[in-house]
Each structure stands twice: as structure tokens, then as C-alpha cells.
Amino acid sequence: MDKIISHSEKDTFRIAKEYAKHTKPGDVICLEGDLGAGKTHFTKGFVTAFGIEMNAVSSPTFALINEYRGDRANIYHFDCYRLEDIREALEIGAEEYFYGDGICIIEWPERIREILPSNSKTVTITPKGPSEREIRFNP
């Protein structure tokens, strides 16, 4: 597992953009971390690698999923924080996204772990100070 220390939001943005360059359609990226860890900010950096404006990204907490049309792949941004039951994810067809031709990036994946593909990748973001984050990548 690779580990990088981010010293600022700008650093996290850059790290996420670089990581995204190594992903491909069909990938499922699970973002783990506590509230305020920087998962949505990581996603903002991630999508810019696909020609999507960072300002297009907002946390889909109430919508569950936001779709972004990229120049080399579509990005499907899930936020499962408010899910009360895995059936809610199934009802919106989450599995179709996971096995489709876009890239899924999922906040709070532990709430739907049992339906995620076995080859999902995990990025764990852990605050280490006011602006410092440890970012771990597990292929």
C-alpha cells in the first residue's frame, strides 16, 4: 500500500489528479475517512484529470449520486453517508454503475461494502493536523 502525506488542500487536489491519471473506465474507487477528512476535496482533484471543472463537484449526500461527463470517462460520485439500508443503493441501480463503463468514486463505501466489486480500489484519507492528511492507496 502506497502512502503520501498531503500538506494542504492544494496538495490533496494535486495528488488526487495524479492518481486519477492511473484509473480507467470500470474502476471503482472507495474513499474512506471520517467526516471532514477531505473525501469530497479529493474528488474535486480527481475529476479534473477528466476535463471536468472542480466547481462541478459537490457532495451528493442528499442525491446519493452525482454524474459528471468527462472527456475520457464519465465519473459517478456516490455519497452513501445517509443510506439507512443497502436496499436504497440497490433501488437506484448502484450495481449497474459499478459494472458499467464509467469510473465510480464512492464516499462512505463501508455502508454498501457487500455489493461492491471485489476488485474495488481503496483510498483512505486520515487527518494528521489542521491541513495535513495521510492518503493511503490500496489497489
- Nearest CA-CA partner of 123 in 37, 59, 33, 45: 33
Question: Alpha-carbon distance 42 to 74, whole Å?
Answer: 17
d(CA 76, CA 20): 13
Helices (H), the chain: 9-20, 39-48, 86-91, 94-98
Task: Spell out the domains of the chain, with CATH numbers in brackets.
Answer: 24-130 (3.40.50.300)
Per-residue pLDDT band at 85 (split at 50, 70, 90): confident
The phi, psi pair for 101, rounded to 5°, reads -105, 15
Q: What is the per-residue pLDDT for 64? A: 83
> pLDDT (tens digit, 9 = 90+) per residue, 16-31?
999 999 999 999 999 9
Mean of pLDDT over the chain: 92
Q: 134 pLDDT band (50/70/90 cuts)?
A: very high
Per-residue pLDDT at 111? 93
Cell numbers placing 110: 463501508
Distances in whole angstroms, Cα of residue 117 to Cα of each of 75, 100, 109, 127, 128: 17, 11, 11, 27, 30
Q: What per-residue confidence (pLDDT) applies to 24?
A: 95
pLDDT of residue 45: 96
Query: Are 106 and 29 within 8 A, CB to CB?
Result: yes
Specify whether the CB–CB gap between 73 and 25 falls below 8 A. yes
Beta bridge partners of 107: 31, 79
Tens digit of pLDDT for each residue in 63-82?
A: 788 999 999 899 999 999 88
Higher pLDDT, 90 or 62: 90
Report the percentage of the chain scoring pLDDT > 90. 76
Reported as a single tens digit per residue, the pLDDT across 49-61 is 999 998 888 776 6
Question: With bands split at pLDDT 50, 70 and 90, how would you rate the model's confidence at 1?
Answer: low
How far apart are the C-alpha atoms of 47 and 56, rounded to whole Å? 9
